[in-house]
Chains A and B, each alone.
Chain A
Amino acid sequence: MVTGAVAPETRRARRVAEQVPDPELPMLTLADLGVLRGVEVGDDGTVVADLTPTYSGCPAMAEMRAGVAARLKDAGFARVEVRTVLDPPWTTDWITPEGRRKLAEHGIAPPGPAPRRAPGPVPLSLSPTRHRVACPRCGSADTEESSRFGATSCKALWRCLACREPFEYLKEI
């Protein structure tokens, strides 16, 4: 690809692919979630879209792939190839500001920054989760974790001690 110049067909294919909703977090598009890693249209008109899984066991991956292929075909792209990209691994840092806003709007607390690695073995922390998660309903910072694992791989369960409502938290990874 020539630097700076994006062909109109590539731009159009990107716009289409970027709007595909995530199967498990339907308020987010795949672009919001940061799993759509690239869309290019080749000289022969084939669209190549790169998707990265969130978690190794994410059962939504096949559905995401089918969704991207279907939308692009509906938009008139006859040949579509959706590839899996494993490297670099997905991080919640790739969720866009727009994605974070939509999560909060739908009652899911957006993730904090992903943990940074220092050299050496991955340290084991036994202290309680240190960061504060604001309640997506009432905004209170008086919240606590009830379980680090939730209904999907990417979410934890929290509760608000102010408004007493439970809520989900997209855990940083």
Chain B
Amino acid sequence: MSDDHLYMTLAEGHEDDTRWAYGTGFEDPLHGVDTTVPEDVDAAELAALCAALGDDALVGAQRLAEWTTRAPELEEEVALANIGLDLLGQARLLYARCGRTDGTGRGEDAYAYFRDPGEFRNVTLAELPNGDFAFSMARLLVLSSWRLHHLDGLTASPDPVLRAVAAKGVKELTYHRRYAAEWVVRLGDGTEESHRRMRAGIEQVAPYLEELFGAFDARAEVLADLRQVLDAAGLELPATAPAAAGPGREGRHTEHLAPLLQELQSVARAHPEATW
């Protein structure tokens, strides 16, 4: 630690490569992996699935990152940033897989930085603003539970690359789901005020469940998780009409996705050849 400037210190010893955090132009996360698409796999279907799962992860990671410096405690910021980092890693692998299957040969940056909102296939629940911490925890619980069970199913995918990405993701998602579940229980079973806000959070998430279940399965598993957590939290899943928004899986998004992407993509688009 010879330099007073934090960023310079982080870059120390990396004179040839001063990129110490996420940016653009990183080495292919599937470097050296056999990415031949097996004959019995429909490449277009596989690409669409990887894009949808990658978009859920990227958009989800961006919302989690927004909690940094705003979460109730430092430990929660660290936790939310870590969960976001896992999702970002999953998104990178999924985008890289997508580029090898959709016939474009694009790299991860093309998917993250150079697509417009209408090309994104994430569920709209992932893009809603963070709002109250209780809403963010309700959303994280639902998205983690669905992703966990969906990836668990994909560990039997006929595509060996997706199978491997899913198997790794399941381990990570198990921690994410538990983190969110514990907060839902703590707030739901806490004070009158925390209970009220947690209930409001669940009520805000409930209308988006149908969209999440829409294209893929895992409905029974997610509802079982929710029942277990809400029982422990002294809460109920309200019967609500599905939200009018979406479906994001078809590229129909809320007004909240465009500003999120604008922030995420602005530097890459202002300096398209730059790497950092």
Contacts and interface: CB of A to CB of B under 8 A. Distances in A.
Interface of A: 50, 53, 55-59, 61-62, 65-66, 81-91, 115, 121-122, 124-126, 146-151, 153, 157, 171, 173
A67 to B, nearest CB: 12
A62 B26 contact: yes
A29 B182 CA distance: 35
Contacts of B170: 122
Given A58-B89, A86-B93, 10 more contacts: A56-B89, A57-B86, A59-B21, A59-B85, A86-B161, A89-B167, A89-B171, A122-B149, A124-B145, A126-B182
A141 B87 CA distance: 33
B240 interface: no
Interface string B159-172: 01101110111111
A88 B167 CA distance: 8
B82 A149 contact: yes
A33 B141 CA distance: 31
B224 A121 contact: yes
B136 interface: no
Contacts of A147: 75, 78-79
A121 B89 CA distance: 24
B62 to A, nearest CB: 13
Q: Which 9 A-B pairs have the closest CB atoms?
A: A57-B89, A83-B32, A56-B89, A86-B164, A149-B79, A87-B164, A147-B75, A57-B85, A89-B168
13 contacts: A56-B168, A59-B21, A59-B22, A84-B31, A89-B164, A121-B152, A124-B177, A124-B228, A126-B232, A147-B75, A148-B178, A149-B75, A149-B79
Given A62-B26, A83-B32, A85-B33, A126 B168 contact: no
A121 B221 contact: yes
Main secondary structure of the interface of B (DSSP, over half): helix
B169 to A, nearest CB: 6
B124 to A, nearest CB: 24
Interface residues of B, number: 52
B111 to A, nearest CB: 16
Interface of B: 17, 21-22, 26-27, 29-33, 75, 78-79, 82-83, 85-90, 92-93, 145, 148-149, 152, 160-161, 163-165, 167-172, 174-175, 177-179, 181-182, 185, 221, 224-225, 228-229, 232
B182 A87 contact: no
Contact of A149 (B22, B89, B169, B179): B179
Contact of B33 (A58, A62, A83, A121): A83
Given A89-B164, A149-B83, A153-B82, A124 B75 contact: no
